[in-house]
Every structure is written in structure tokens, then in C-alpha cells.
A and B are shown apart, each in its own frame.
Chain A
Amino acid sequence: MTAPVLPASLVENPRLDRWIKFESDRTVRIATGKVEMGQGIVTAIGQIAAEELDVPLDRVAVLSGNTTYGPDELYTTSSLSVDVSGGSVRLVCAEVRAKALDRAALRLNCSRDELSVVHGKFLQNGAATGQDYWTVAAEIDLTQAVTGTAPAKQVASYKVVGQSVPRVDLPAKMSGAAFVHDVLPPDVLHARTLRQPNRGATLASLDEAAIRKAAKGELQIVREVNFVAFVSPVEGVAQAAAVAAPLHAKWNNLRQLVREQQEAAWLKGRPSDDRHIGAPPSATSPGNLVQATFSRPYIAHASLAPSCALAEFRDGHLTVRSHGQGMHPLRKNLADVLGLPIESITAQHLHGAGCYGHNGADDAALDAALVAMRLPGKCIRLMWRREEEFGFEPVGPAMLVTLHVDLDARGRPADWTTEIWSPTHVQRPGAGTGFLLAAEALANPPPEVAPFDPTEQRGGGGTRNAVPLYDVPAHRIVHHLVMRPPVRTSALRGLGALPNVYAIESMIDDLAARMGEDPVAYRLSILSESRARRLVELVAERAGWESRGAGGAGKGLGIGFARYKNRAAYAAVVAAVTVEETVRVDRIWCVADAGLVVNPDGARNQLEGGIVQAVSWTLKEQVRLDDQGIASRDWDSYPILRFSEIPEMQVEFVEANGNPALGVGECTVGPTAAAIGNAVHHALGVRLRDMPLTRERILAALA
């Protein structure tokens, strides 16, 4: 018998006690390296453990993002948590359950086959035995490595997985302290920073007296080369110092940007690292070539809370509490910058506002640690200011996508090239070539970033969803990874999926129009995968597609479809829009296929959230630049979708049909954007190829 293939998390963290511990209060602690960001993963992991162990859900306590006791599962990204961490927890619990029953059988001098587990208690032929997980826990050797050989439960027998369970973390968030921001130990010191305006800028002078005058209170100024922090027992004092500081700081080597750099169009022709993926260049000259270019500008994560971290350096040990997406990577990155042995650092995840990718969280943790190292024995609570979060978090990259599609005699794609210009989509510290922001301000700044983007094996970055799922005989990607964008870019929900799906699905609608065919019928004519077909058919039915008129009168109905990463969850979306001078999305229908869904209501919440965020990105959002950097630094200059602009939504999952769980968190963003673009085309009769679909662009298109 060959050894089972273990999830990567179990290969890296094989010991059972990294994952599970039976506590003396008759709970079981399940540890995961993935962290809660509002997506409900902690609840879903608890469900998986409760199911496999047959213990009540309220006896499972999930420890998340802890470098002392929990597994290293890198970052919480790419809609992989249920699959990878959940899959690991399932195997661990199945194995521990088997070991526990073995011990109980020995104690009871019976066969294991006579035993069953109900609410964590062991029954013998249905009768109480007085034995349970906790009575035998001391006899189970959890220092052993997981083998993956214990059979996990059959899906058909699931009682907890597949049920809608309320999120365990929500009650606290609606009633009081719940976030890293809310941890305020006695004698805590509040800190704010003065940010280095750009890499390479050097602090020529800092008028500390003027800053102290503005701060109006007890203030320490911590300065290390080009990193500056203001520290006070009174939060308002530290804040006032930081607000005043930019006026009283003089920098050399400031960069000069030009406004054109804020547009995706600027990317074309810049120095890039080019890759050709897929089919070789077509040997024949195109017979019926259709080409179009689409774009999406830089967009912000725009988390509702500025990033925040606590750090304390005591007796040579640094303890950090952070809302970053991966605590083990954070610990390693801090060790690298601070020159501390990794064993001298502990990192614990605490909740923050939703981040949707790589925002300022990790950077704030280094800022806090730098201050803590200078003020040993003090707990430092460092929070970014609102304008700092907008101005210095990594942003989602601008992208330019040109499609070159050669049609066959039936007007179907015969040869397809997706050509992409984009800066990197991942500069997470420690993954690829990213680093923590303040490291650039210290004595030995890290080397300039080398070209890096996630590989195709990891779903790609700029190339994510660049290959259509439709039946295309030959397709290829030409990826221009632009090396020196004007702003730091990194992961934002879906990476390149939104611009790529927007481009592909717009093209498919345009090809249908060329043939005088209905967009849904045209799609079905080139879509042979059965799960995909089913969704397109179903969402059309839900949206009343058959009564869709000719359009052109300011009302439109459009469809968008994709399978996230071409390997995670499928989503088909129809959008109904009204276009006057601006676009209003009136209604969204969404049907998704994510295979086995652990927590259906929680997963629907994720579909809905992705839809709303995609509507906001598609209609409204663009990071603006001035000559120094990001200029859109508040909610007036970076507006997002409001209550009065939210569409009605109808979202549903199709039944699993025995298919395994597929990551769901990012699957709706591309199809939603595409459905809106196609609905606007239906409403106006013109194609808007550049996001966001603003009033100016609509008026220009109609002129």
C-alpha cells in the first residue's frame, strides 16, 4: 500500500500535538496556522474538527495563528484555508479519534468495533462506558507524526459539516473589545510613525521642538536612521505628534512621480520581465483576428481599520500581537530585520478589520517591534493613521489586458492569446522578494525587488484566470511583469482574476454580438465542462434571461462566468444595471459550485461580500497619485460602495454531488465585474473597456 499524500501543512507540521490538545476543562484545542479575517475560517475549522471527533462544537476551541503552539501554514491566502488547513485538521482528528478508541478498547477489554463516539463520550454497543477523549488523553502519544492512514468519515454521514453555524467570533465584535486595536494593557505606550516618503529618501532634518509643541504632552521620539516613531502614554499626544510631523521633516532624495503613472495605460512599454506560457506562437497567420484592450487601475484594500500591532521586548524576548495573515512568516521576517534568533520571537494573531489581502498589518508589526526594541520592558501599541494606511499599504496592481482572438469559420475562438501588463501581485515579506516596509528606512535596506509573481502552479498572479475555461483549441499567455511600478503592489482578493475575467467575458459577449447570437447561448456552444454549463444555465434561469430584451435603453442585463484559478469554486453571475450618467447595479444573481460547503451561510456571506467589493471596484475605485506618491488618502478621495448603492442580491450554491470542497472566498469577484461590464454594454450599446466605469467614461463613450 502506498503512503497517502498528505496536505502540505501536514508535511511541514507532522506532529499531532501541533494541531490538537485535550484540555483539562474538557474542551479540545484545535490549532490552525490560518487566521480569521471575517471570512469565518475559525468557525469552519471548528466544524471540521467537531465532525471528525464527534464532539460538540462548543467543546472545540480553535487556536489560530500562534507561533508557540500552532502549525506553520504560511499565509492565509488564495481561498485555500478550508482545503489545506481544514483537510489537515480532518486527517489529524480522524487519526486521534482512532488512537483514542484504541486506548478505550484496551481499558474496556473490548474490540474497537464495539465502540462509538457520541458527544465526545465513548459508548460500547450503545451503552455508556465512563470513558471519553479526556479520560484516555494522557495515554495518547500526540508527539507522533500523523500518518494520514486513519479513515476519515464518509461525507454522507456528516452532521456538523454542511450545516450553517453562527460565527463564533461575531458576538464579541458586536458588543465590545474584539480586535488587536482593543488590547490596552496597563502602562501601555501608544506609538505612531513618521513614514519615509519613498524608498531611498533620507531624513535631512526633523524639528523635534516643533513636534513636541504640537503634541502637547509627554512624548518620546524614537529615531533609527530614517524610521521615526512618536511614543506617549496618551494616545492623542502620539497622534498629534504624527499629524504634525510631516510639516517639520525635511527629506532628501524624494522621488517625483507624474500623474500618468496612476493609469494602467502607463504600464505598456515599461521595462518588464516577459514570460510566454501555453501554446507556441501560432504557425498560421490569423484569418479573422479580433483584438481588444481592457484595464483596471491600482486599487486599495481600504480596510476599515488602520493597521495596528502590539509589541513588547522583555528579557531578550520579543512578543508581537498582530492581525497579519501569517504569524510564522511574520516571526521569521521580524527575526531577519531585527537580527534576533527566531526562538526569541513569539507572534500571536489577534483579529483586525477585514483585509482582503496584503495590507499594512505586517508592516505595522515591524514598526511596533522597532519601538519595543528601543524601549525594553514596555508594551507598545502602534497604530497607523488613516492616511498612512491609504498612503503606504501595498495596493492591488493596475493591469492592462489585450486579447488577440482568431476566430474559426463559425465565429468561435480558434486561437487565443491573453497579453498582460502588470506589476507583481505578491510582495508578501518572505514570500518571493517582498519585505517589511520599515526595513527600507533602516541602515541596511533590503535589495531592490527582483521580478517575481506567483507561478502558474500556484494559480498565477497577473496571469490568474488568464486562460478562458471555454473550448479553445489553442491558447497562450504573454505576461509582461512590469518591474518598477510607481507604488508598492501586492496581493488583493483574486489577484489578476478580476481584470482577466472582465476582459475574457467582455470579449465573449462581443464575439456573440458579432455572430448575432445570444450571449448565454454563445457561451454554451463553446463550454463543454458539465459543472460550468450547469451554472451558466441555472443563473440565466434565475435571472429570467429568456425575457432579456434588445437593450440599449439604459437598462441592461449581463452575464459573467469563471472558475476561480480554473481550479477552485465556479461562479456564474448575472447583473441588472440602470445607466444614466452613472451606473447603478440594481440586482445580482449568483450561482456557485464549491463542491462540499462546510458552513453554507458563512460561505454565502463570502459570495455576497465578494460581489459587493467587485461592484465597488468596477464602478468607483482608483488609487490616485500625486508627485510624491498615493494622494487618495481618505474616504472622500477614495470612495467605496455605500448602503444606498448596494444591489439586491440572490446567491446560492448548487448541491455538492459528491465533489470535494473548493475555495470560495474569491470566486465571485471576476464574474461580477464582467457581468456589470456586459450589462452596461447591453444598456448602452457601447463597450467600456477601462475600469472603473465612471460618469466621465460613460459620457465619453456616448459622445
Chain B
Amino acid sequence: MNITLTVNGEARSVGAAESTSLLEVLRNHLGLMGTRYGCGLEQCGCCMVLVDDQPAYACTRELGTVAGRKVTTIEGLGSEARPHPLQQAFLDEQAGQCGYCLSGILISAKALLDRNPDPSRAEIVAALDKHLCRCGAHQRILRAVERAAVTLRSGAAA
């Protein structure tokens, strides 16, 4: 049976079992590869997406629970050609090494800035603390979120 959900603003119908993980649906059915498998245990944050604007682990989230809901992935933020201010800030700070953790972190940062446009360093740390980065790009990532917050605030004010 088909299940319908909205992914990055588009209605999508997926023919998969309700128990299929949202991660597998996004990657293998919808071809959205930016959401990544890390552990399958909600321990690393590589698979973070937004479900109705709230961060959610796609690895354990079952397709049946997102029927009719709105899912946002890293592809929904922006592209290489048209990066979101968060993606641009991460590039400006060269905030990453291997990059495997970044799409999940960008998603959590997006959720943070949506609800708190001017977060303190401690609030950014708290929002990202569920994410692991093994390469050690943390300080650059924190600076990049701060930089994006400035950009987004100045854009909102303009």
C-alpha cells in the first residue's frame, strides 16, 4: 500500500511497508542521499531530519508514523548551487573534515535557529550535543552556526 507524505515541500507517495525506516525511504525510495546511516540506534545523529519542523532520527522512525506529515532533509535546505545560509556558513568556516556528520548537524542547527534566531554558544552546544563528529571539527561547526545566525537575522531584518 502507498503512504503519502510531504518531503521538502513536495507530496510524495511511497510504496513500502509501514515499518520501513524513514531513512531507507528517503535514501532508497526517494533518492535523497544526504540523510546518512550512522548507527541505527539514535546515538550519533547522522540521520537527523525534520518531521513537522522538529528534529527526528530517521533511522528508527517508521514510515507509518510520518504519513501525512512534513519531512525536511538536507536537500530541502539548499543545494550546492543554491546553498542555505547555514550551508554557506559551514563552507565559509570550512566546518568539517570527512563531512559524514554534517547533514544531520545542519538539520539540528536549522531547527535551533528557527526557534531561536540568536542562540548563545551554550544553546548551540546543547542543540548539537546529540550529534557526534569524529574528525574534531566541533569548534568550526559552532562558529559556523553563529555565523549563519547573524546572516539569517540580518536577512530577516532587511
Residues in A lying within 8 Å of B, measured CB to CB = 37-40, 166-167, 169-179, 181-182, 184, 234-236, 239, 302-306, 351-354, 356, 383, 385-386, 601-602, 605-606, 608-613, 634-636, 640-644, 646, 648-649
Contacts of A172 in B (CB 8 A): 80
Cβ–Cβ contact B33 & A184, under 8 A: yes
In the assembled complex, the CB of B20 is this many whole angstroms from the nearest CB of chain A, namely 6
Evaluate whether A643 and B128 lie within 8 angstroms (CB atoms) in the complex, with A171-B80, A176-B75, A354-B134 already known.
yes
Q: B36-47, CB under 8 A of A: which get 1 and which 0?
A: 111111011010
In the assembled complex, the CB of A645 is this many whole angstroms from the nearest CB of chain B, namely 9
Contact of A609 among B34, B77, B136 (CB under 8 A): B136
Cβ–Cβ contact B74 & A174, under 8 A: yes
In the assembled complex, the CB of B131 is this many whole angstroms from the nearest CB of chain A, namely 7
Contacts of A356 in B (CB 8 A): 134
Given contacts A176-B74, A305-B37, A646-B142, 14 further A-B contacts (CB under 8 A): A171-B80, A175-B78, A176-B80, A178-B33, A306-B38, A385-B40, A601-B94, A605-B137, A608-B140, A609-B136, A635-B43, A635-B132, A636-B43, A643-B138
Any chain A CB within 8 A of the CB of B72?
Answer: no
Residues in B lying within 8 Å of A, measured CB to CB = 20-21, 24, 27-28, 31-34, 36-41, 43-44, 46, 74-75, 77-80, 83, 87, 90-91, 94, 96-103, 106, 125-126, 128-129, 131-142
Cβ–Cβ contact B34 & A643, under 8 A: no
Cβ–Cβ contact A609 & B137, under 8 A: yes
Contacts of B83 in A (CB 8 A): 171, 174-175
Cβ–Cβ contact B28 & A174, under 8 A: no
CA distance in complex: A234, B74 (Å): 23
In the assembled complex, the CB of A621 is this many whole angstroms from the nearest CB of chain B, namely 11
Contact of A643 among B40, B99, B100, B125 (CB under 8 A): B125
Closest to A638 in B: B43
6 contacts between A and B (CB under 8 A): A166-B91, A167-B94, A236-B24, A304-B100, A609-B136, A635-B39
Contacts of A171 in B (CB 8 A): 80, 83, 87, 91
Contact of B24 among A40, A235, A386 (CB under 8 A): A235
Evaluate whether A176 and B135 lie within 8 angstroms (CB atoms) in the complex, with A304-B98, A643-B129 already known.
no
Cβ–Cβ contact B98 & A38, under 8 A: yes
Contacts of B28 in A (CB 8 A): 184, 234-235
CA distance in complex: A352, B138 (Å): 19
Cβ–Cβ contact B39 & A354, under 8 A: no
Contacts of B99 in A (CB 8 A): 38, 169-170, 173-174, 178, 351
Closest to A243 in B: B40
Cβ–Cβ contact B98 & A37, under 8 A: yes
Contact of A352 among B32, B46, B98 (CB under 8 A): B98
List 7 A-B pairs, minimum CB-CB distance, nearest first.
A612-B136, A173-B99, A38-B98, A354-B98, A609-B136, A38-B97, A177-B33
CA distance in complex: A304, B91 (Å): 20
CA distance in complex: A606, B91 (Å): 16
CA distance in complex: A37, B100 (Å): 11
Contact of B129 among A175, A353, A602, A644 (CB under 8 A): A644
Cβ–Cβ contact B87 & A175, under 8 A: yes
Contacts of B77 in A (CB 8 A): 175
Cβ–Cβ contact B91 & A635, under 8 A: no
CA distance in complex: A631, B134 (Å): 20
Contacts of A239 in B (CB 8 A): 40
Evaluate whether A608 and B139 lie within 8 angstroms (CB atoms) in the complex, with A176-B74, A352-B98 already known.
yes
In the assembled complex, the CB of A587 is this many whole angstroms from the nearest CB of chain B, namely 11
Closest to B28 in A: A235
Among B21, B133, B136, the one with the most A-chain Cβ atoms within 10 Å of its Cβ is: B136
Cβ–Cβ contact B41 & A386, under 8 A: yes
Closest to A383 in B: B37
Contacts of B140 in A (CB 8 A): 605, 608
In the assembled complex, the CB of A615 is this many whole angstroms from the nearest CB of chain B, namely 8
Contacts of A383 in B (CB 8 A): 37
Cβ–Cβ contact B137 & A602, under 8 A: no
Contacts of A236 in B (CB 8 A): 20-21, 24
Closest to A390 in B: B39
Contact of A634 among B43, B46, B87, B106 (CB under 8 A): B43
CA distance in complex: A643, B40 (Å): 21
CA distance in complex: A484, B103 (Å): 41
CA distance in complex: A239, B21 (Å): 11
Cβ–Cβ contact A170 & B75, under 8 A: no
Cβ–Cβ contact A176 & B34, under 8 A: yes
CA distance in complex: A629, B90 (Å): 40
Cβ–Cβ contact A353 & B39, under 8 A: no
Closest to B31 in A: A184
In the assembled complex, the CB of A67 is this many whole angstroms from the nearest CB of chain B, namely 23
In the assembled complex, the CB of A591 is this many whole angstroms from the nearest CB of chain B, namely 17
In the assembled complex, the CB of A415 is this many whole angstroms from the nearest CB of chain B, namely 38
Cβ–Cβ contact B34 & A175, under 8 A: yes
Contacts of A643 in B (CB 8 A): 125, 128-129, 131, 133, 138, 141-142
Cβ–Cβ contact B129 & A181, under 8 A: no
CA distance in complex: A283, B138 (Å): 52
Cβ–Cβ contact B33 & A174, under 8 A: no
Cβ–Cβ contact B37 & A306, under 8 A: yes
Closest to B79 in A: A175
Contacts of B40 in A (CB 8 A): 239, 385-386
Evaluate whether A646 and B100 lie within 8 angstroms (CB atoms) in the complex, with A236-B20, A353-B134 already known.
no
In the assembled complex, the CB of A364 is this many whole angstroms from the nearest CB of chain B, namely 14
Cβ–Cβ contact B38 & A386, under 8 A: yes
In the assembled complex, the CB of B43 is this many whole angstroms from the nearest CB of chain A, namely 4
CA distance in complex: A306, B142 (Å): 26
In the assembled complex, the CB of A584 is this many whole angstroms from the nearest CB of chain B, namely 13
Among B20, B34, B78, the one with the most A-chain Cβ atoms within 10 Å of its Cβ is: B34
Contacts of B91 in A (CB 8 A): 166, 170-171, 174
In the assembled complex, the CB of B134 is this many whole angstroms from the nearest CB of chain A, namely 5
CA distance in complex: A458, B67 (Å): 58
Cβ–Cβ contact A640 & B98, under 8 A: no
In the assembled complex, the CB of A251 is this many whole angstroms from the nearest CB of chain B, namely 24
Among B80, B98, B100, the one with the most A-chain Cβ atoms within 10 Å of its Cβ is: B98
Contact of B80 among A38, A175, A611 (CB under 8 A): A175
Evaluate whether A610 and B39 lie within 8 angstroms (CB atoms) in the complex, with A175-B78, A184-B27 already known.
no
In the assembled complex, the CB of B139 is this many whole angstroms from the nearest CB of chain A, namely 6
Cβ–Cβ contact A39 & B139, under 8 A: no
Among B36, B38, B90, B94, the one with the most A-chain Cβ atoms within 10 Å of its Cβ is: B94
Contact of A176 among B32, B97, B100, B126 (CB under 8 A): B32
Evaluate whether A640 and B43 lie within 8 angstroms (CB atoms) in the complex, with A305-B100, A609-B97 already known.
no
Cβ–Cβ contact A304 & B33, under 8 A: no
Contacts of B136 in A (CB 8 A): 608-613, 641
Cβ–Cβ contact A304 & B133, under 8 A: yes
CA distance in complex: A634, B38 (Å): 10
Contacts of B74 in A (CB 8 A): 174-176
CA distance in complex: A664, B138 (Å): 19
Closest to A668 in B: B136
Cβ–Cβ contact A642 & B132, under 8 A: yes
CA distance in complex: A179, B80 (Å): 15
Cβ–Cβ contact B100 & A354, under 8 A: yes
Cβ–Cβ contact B102 & A304, under 8 A: no
CA distance in complex: A236, B99 (Å): 25
Closest to B42 in A: A635
CA distance in complex: A385, B39 (Å): 8
Contact of A174 among B27, B31, B102 (CB under 8 A): B102
Cβ–Cβ contact B98 & A634, under 8 A: no
